[in-house]
A and B are shown apart, each in its own frame.
Chain A
Amino acid sequence: MTPVGLPHILLLSTALFFIGMFGFFTRRNLITMLMSLELMLNSVNINFVAFNKYLYPQNLSGVFFVIFIITIAAAEAAVAIAIIINLFRSSDSIDVTDAEEMKF
């Protein structure tokens, strides 16, 4: 059994990123889209941690970045959910195709 190396982890994060992207493009429900977005953010986080551990174990920049991203993502989720709630109040739906007034 080979030890877990950088390529394995990068494979995982790439898979996670594209699953999130696929979800973001295809789902119509705004909450699901938000979840997909979180998936993509987390794949980035994994990348940061992995590069930090395997390439530059002597410093902790990657880890700090991850903490920042988690914090920002939490705030962003709060804002996004607030938007979604307002959208639901005004149009009785959280379907993204129902909210396309902002066009030409």
Chain B
Amino acid sequence: MQNTNLVLLTLASPLLAFLLLGIFGSSSNWLKKGAGIIGTLLMAVSFFFASQLSLAYFLNQTPNHTQQILFSYTWLQFGSGLSIDMGALLDATSAMMLLVVTFISLMVHVFSLGYMHNDERFASYYAYLGLFTFSMLGLVISANIFQIYMFWELVGVSSFLLIGYYFNKQSAVAAAKKAFIVTRFADLGFLIGILTLGYYGESFDFLTLIGRLSDVQSPQFAAIGVASFAGISALTWGLLLVFMGGAGKSAMFPLHIWLPDAMEGPTPVSALIHAATMVVAGVFLVARLFPIFAIAAPHTLDIIAYIGIFSALFAALIACTQTDIKRVLAYSTMSQIGFMMFALGVSGYGAENGAGFSASLFHLFTHAFFKSLLFLGAGAIIHYVHSNEMEDMGGLRKHMPITHISFLIACLAISGIPPFAGFFSKEAILHAAYQSNPAIYYMALFTSFLTAFYMFRLYFSIFWSTQKAAQDNAHGEGTWSMKIPLILLAIASVLFGFIPFSEYVSTDGKPIATHLDVLFSIAPVTLGVLGILLAKQLYQKASVKPQKIALALGSAYGFVKNKFYIDEVYQYITKKMLFAWVARPAAWIDKNIIDGFYLLLAQLTQFSSVYIKGIQSGKVQAYAMYFFAGILSLASLLFYVLK
């Protein structure tokens, strides 16, 4: 009962911030000024309740972490058994997510106080942040697959609003539309997947659904296994379509194209949405349905694993060539989420087999801290130099000491250097991959080398290299509201790796002992250090070496720099194929056949009216005549025919 109140309060305060600032923010001057403070305070309240809830969950429980339905309210009932409920499901995954989402959101709120303080639409900015946080929190506590879908779409809408926040900038509007349409397209698959699973599982409730579909003896399992489409069973279809929704939100290849463009939004928003919370929704979704994936359809997990590792490698390659710092970070996000995905993909169910699952969520947890730190650091840098391009930066370490140190910590963490947080989670992922699929392990190893290289390429180009002009800024490094989140997140990035995560979060709720195999760690750490040294060689001092290498690689380099021309492929498919072969014929049919039918009806009516309108002459006596004629004919009918 007490947990129910905590969950409701956690969700209500960001919603209250959204309603208050969204409705009254533009009309009341007082609210406009205080929007940041109000939003931040409400977020702090939310964080307070969420931390109460999850700490109580993790510390006060017996080692077996149970799944509890806190409350459930039937919202829509379809026939018997099938209903859409609004409820809250508390288990280790959602308790962990509640903590991460509220903490990162609080940091972003605080950071934005300094970053956005001169903005004209300050109140709407905080209102959107509130809406986003509310929907993300609703997503992680959903107890029903349809409920998660609703919050999923709310997350999509609020990210649309935040990406397109600078709506007078053409590119921001385009990016917002792109993000919305691409994720919406993926959500179409998600919806069909939900309906497939719900139809055969005869429930939308997570626990019931998982119970039925992961139990080989249940009648529902037999039904969904027998039904098939195009030679693939309905279960596989359902799970793959649900994964398609997850891949869209989590920017997995080939639905990743929106993520780099989404950097058009304000930088703290990128930290919140495109680093720590929204993009991991796909990982969360797969984790939520994990027992079905792992027990009933392990082959779908293989597909997820290969898509994950491919996206990780693909994004890491692109990240090495980009020059816009936020784009580098965006591709690195995609790459890290690829890590989480393939970790889920190589995992099995139960006890030690589920190590990949724990590792994936552990990486999700640590990644949230160091990636939002990287983005907020990037925000501070952009605030300082007023540019996103790496070539406008350089030598900033003396001007921005706090940003420098925290950025360095985050870079070390993401590169997997001990003892920073990323090291532990990445080790766990690599270990799980090594045990189940060596091919994926070696690709992941190479990717983590690339990760270290491009992160330190970024680091050295920004903070070392040669000093560029136009850096003697009056406003200095930034306000304290911008520095404090950086410091807190840096501390988190150092310490949170030591949490024995798999003892808290595992596939079946039973703790797995964490172990660190020092011999195993040698290869990844060495590769990480090599990547750093290579970046140091090339970028610590401004030199022509990078250009020489780029020239030597020739067209291959151009191919990667242009992001493998995926955007162009999409352009080609939509413009040349979809528009020309589907949209135009459809428009032609609409204009000529559908509209034509109604035009024909209208013309027929008009044509006949020309002939019969003479009856309505306006002559009263003529009308009286018709009346009497009518009476006479009725009378004669009654007298002579119907008597």
Contact = CB atoms under 8 A, between A and B. Distances in A.
Interface of A: 21, 24-25, 33, 96-97, 99-104
Interface string B617-642: 11111001100100000000000000
A102 B618 CA distance: 5
Contacts of A21: 628
A60 to B, nearest CB: 28
16 contacts: A21-B628, A24-B621, A24-B624, A25-B624, A25-B625, A33-B621, A96-B620, A96-B621, A97-B619, A99-B620, A100-B618, A100-B619, A100-B620, A101-B618, A103-B616, A104-B616
Contacts of A103: 616-618
Contacts of A104: 613-614, 616
A43 to B, nearest CB: 14
A40 B616 CA distance: 25
Interface in B155-196: none
A21 B625 CA distance: 10
Nearest to B619: A100
Interface of B: 613-614, 616-621, 624-625, 628
Contacts of B621: 24-25, 33, 96
A89 B428 CA distance: 99
A103 B613 CA distance: 9
A4 to B, nearest CB: 27
A4 B512 CA distance: 120
Contacts of B613: 104
Nearest to B617: A103
B613 to A, nearest CB: 4
A99 B622 CA distance: 13
Nearest 4 A/B pairs, CB to CB: A103-B618, A100-B618, A104-B613, A104-B616
A103 B619 CA distance: 8
A90 B614 CA distance: 25
Nearest to A24: B624
Contact of A100 (B614, B617, B624, B625): B617
A57 B616 CA distance: 46
A97 B621 CA distance: 9
Contacts of B618: 100-103
Contacts of A99: 620
A101 B614 CA distance: 13
A67 B621 CA distance: 28
The winner among B613, B620, B624, B628 for most chain A CB atoms within 10 A is B620
Given A24-B624, A96-B619, 13 more contacts: A24-B621, A96-B621, A97-B619, A99-B620, A100-B619, A100-B620, A101-B618, A102-B618, A103-B616, A103-B617, A103-B618, A104-B614, A104-B616
A96 B617 CA distance: 13
Contacts of A101: 618
A103 B620 CA distance: 10
B614 to A, nearest CB: 8
A101 B616 CA distance: 11
A24 B625 CA distance: 10
A104 B613 CA distance: 6
A96 B619 CA distance: 8
Contacts of A100: 617-620
A100 B618 CA distance: 4
Contacts of B619: 96-97, 100
Nearest to A101: B618
Contacts of B614: 104
A87 B620 CA distance: 14
Nearest to B616: A104
A103 to B, nearest CB: 3
Nearest to B614: A104
The winner among A33, A99, A100, A104 for most chain B CB atoms within 10 A is A104
Nearest to B628: A21
A96 B624 CA distance: 13
A24 B627 CA distance: 12
A25 B616 CA distance: 17
Contacts of A102: 618
A101 B619 CA distance: 9
A100 B617 CA distance: 7
Contacts of B628: 21
Nearest to A21: B628
A89 B606 CA distance: 36
Contacts of B624: 24-25
A101 B618 CA distance: 6
B375 to A, nearest CB: 71
A24 B616 CA distance: 19
A63 to B, nearest CB: 26
Nearest to B620: A96
Contacts of A96: 619-621
A70 B624 CA distance: 22
B318 to A, nearest CB: 71
Nearest to A30: B620
Nearest to A26: B621
Contacts of A24: 621, 624
Nearest to A96: B620
Nearest to B613: A104
Nearest to B615: A104
